């Protein structure tokens, strides 16, 4: 009799024990899947990096002529407005002198017409034509002055001379490169990331930069994402700004950049189900 009662009690005890252990067994896979999902949402992108200046320009001749003075050399530091080169401008200056003389003659003629008009010796038309000649002469003088100013090449911004393409007393055509000017401001980092990670990239993400020439690591921040994808290489161009200025860094240095990409958040398909 006792044996018959013991068997049902043992079965009931096993059932209760299985029900109590069931939530624990289901909870562990849930925690493991959450950790795995977090790891999958973060991915490290490593790509080639190139340091480039914020401002750079190839300064060219704006006129045809002979270079009379070359005031810069390779690596020289220049300030904004400094004279870099000067052409032989004797012809251009002579044109300015001629235009200035013609303006003086036109003004004298206009003044004479005004006096004659007060005496009713000439009509209004002659006075108006004389004044128009003054305006015409003034415009000719302005044009000659602009052409003369092209003889002097000035630095559009502060920086250093990265290359010199001409020599003193060289005769050249308009558009001939004279010097390369690199701005001395903060550098930017140019990157190319796989376009498949475009949705994971955004301004403000931290970037770790390892520069080959210095052997050091620098901190930067992603500042721009291109609006165009290279269809052939399947990459998107990025720009990052260094968090601090470093005197040892120069434009043209290369290295490796590492960026932690964040995958966009997705809603759980089981959310809201009982």
Pair 195, 241 in one domain: yes
Count Cβ neighbours within 10 Å for each residue of 237-254 and write b for 16 or more, e otherwise: ebbbebeeeeeebbbebe
Residues 51 and 93 both lie in one domain: no
Q: How far is CA 130 from CA 106, 140, 154, in A?
A: 7, 16, 39
In angstroms, the CA 162 to CA 58 distance is: 10
Tell which wins on pLDDT, 103 or 268: 103
Confidence of residue 262 (pLDDT cuts 50, 70, 90): low
In the chain, alpha helices (H): 2-41, 90-118, 124-149
| Torsion sign over Cα 82, 86, 92, 96 | positive
Average pLDDT over residues 95-119: 95
Tell me how far apart the terminal alpha carbons of the chain are, to the nearest angstrom.
Answer: 45
Q: Residue 41: what pLDDT? A: 56
Last residue of a domain, one of 150, 165, 193: 150
Residue 78 forms part of a structural domain: no
Query: Taking residues 166-184, what's their average pLDDT?
Result: 94
Please check whether residue 223 lies inside any domain of the structure.
yes
Domain count, the chain: 2
Whether the pLDDT of residue 34 is over 60: the answer is no
pLDDT at 43: 72
Q: How far apart are CA 263 and CA 200, in angstroms?
A: 5
Whether the predicted pLDDT of 266 surpasses 80:
no
pLDDT surpassing 70 at residue 207: yes
User: Confidence class of residue 264 from pLDDT cuts 50, 70 and 90?
Assistant: low
Among 202, 198, 266, 206, smallest CA distance to 38 is for: 266
Residue 36 has pLDDT above 90, yes or no: no
Q: How many CB atoms lie within 10 A of CB 41?
A: 14
Range of the domain at 102: 89-150
The verdict on residue 118 lying in a domain is: yes
pLDDT at 1 over 80: no
CA-CA distance, 180 to 75, in Å (whole number)? 10
Q: Please give the residue that has the higher pLDDT: either 238 or 263.
A: 238
**51 & 115 share domain:** no
User: For the domain that residue 123 is a member of, what is the CATH number?
Assistant: 1.10.287
Average pLDDT, the chain: 84
Task: Inform me whether the pLDDT recorded for 225 exceeds 90.
Answer: yes
What's the CA angle centered on 130, arms 127 and 136, to 5 degrees? 145
Question: In the listed set 102, 133, 150, which residue is the last one of a domain according to the structure?
Answer: 150
Q: 239 near 221, Cβ under 8 Å?
A: no
- Which residues pair with residue 188 across a beta bridge? 52, 241
pLDDT of residue 245: 86
Token digits for 274? Answer: 């009982």
Say whether pLDDT at 64 is over 70: yes
Average pLDDT over every residue of 269-273: 46
More confident residue, 110 or 15: 110
Specify whether 190 is located in the same domain as 241: yes
Residues 6+ apart with CB under 8 A from 66: 87, 88, 169, 170, 171, 172
In a domain, 107, yes or no: yes
- Decide if 96 is inside a domain: yes
DSSP string covering 59-84 = EE-SSSEEEEEE---TT-EE-TT-EE
Please tell me the predicted confidence (pLDDT) of residue 229.
93
The tens digit of pLDDT for each residue in 147-166 reads: 999 999 999 999 999 999 99
Boundary (domain end) residue, out of 100, 124, 150 = 150
**Domain contains 192:** yes
Confidence label for 13 from pLDDT (cuts 50, 70 and 90): very low
CATH of the domain at 219: 2.40.30.170
Provide the b/e sequence for 7-26 (b: ≥16 CB within 10 Å): eeeeeeeeeeeeeeeeeeee
Specify the higher pLDDT residue, 99 or 36: 99
pLDDT band of 184, cuts 50, 70, 90:
confident
Model confidence at 128: pLDDT above 90: yes
Asked if residue 159 belongs to a domain, the reply is no
The per-residue pLDDT for 186 is 86
């Amino acid at each position: 009799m006792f044996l018959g009662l013991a068997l049902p009690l043992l079965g009931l005890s096993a059932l209760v024990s299985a029900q109590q252990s069931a939530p624990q067994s289901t909870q562990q896979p849930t925690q493991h899947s959450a950790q795995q999902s977090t790891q999958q949402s973060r991915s490290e992108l490593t790509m080639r990096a190139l340091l480039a200046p914020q401002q750079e320009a190839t300064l060219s001749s704006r006129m045809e002529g002979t270079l009379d003075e070359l005031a810069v050399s390779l690596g020289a530091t220049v300030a904004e407005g400094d004279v870099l080169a000067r052409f032989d401008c004797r012809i251009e200056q002579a044109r300015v002198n001629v235009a200035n003389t013609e303006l003086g003659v036109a003004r004298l003629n206009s003044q004479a017409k005004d006096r004659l008009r007060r005496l009713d010796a000439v009509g209004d038309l002659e006075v108006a034509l004389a004044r128009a000649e003054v305006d015409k002469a003034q415009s000719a003088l302005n044009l000659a002055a602009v052409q003369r100013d092209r003889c002097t090449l000035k630095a559009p911004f502060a920086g250093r001379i990265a290359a010199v393409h001409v020599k003193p007393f060289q005769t050249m055509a308009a558009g001939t490169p004279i010097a390369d000017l690199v701005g001395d401001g903060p550098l930017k980092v140019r990157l190319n990331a796989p376009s498949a990670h475009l949705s994971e990239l955004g301004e403000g993400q931290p970037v770790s930069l390892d520069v080959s020439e210095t052997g050091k690591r620098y901190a930067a921040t992603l500042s721009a994402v291109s609006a165009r994808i290279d269809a052939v290489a399947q990459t998107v161009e990025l720009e990052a700004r260094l968090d601090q200025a470093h005197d040892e860094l120069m434009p043209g240095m290369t290295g490796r950049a590492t960026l932690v990409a964040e995958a966009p958040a997705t809603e759980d398909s089981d959310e809201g189900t009982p």
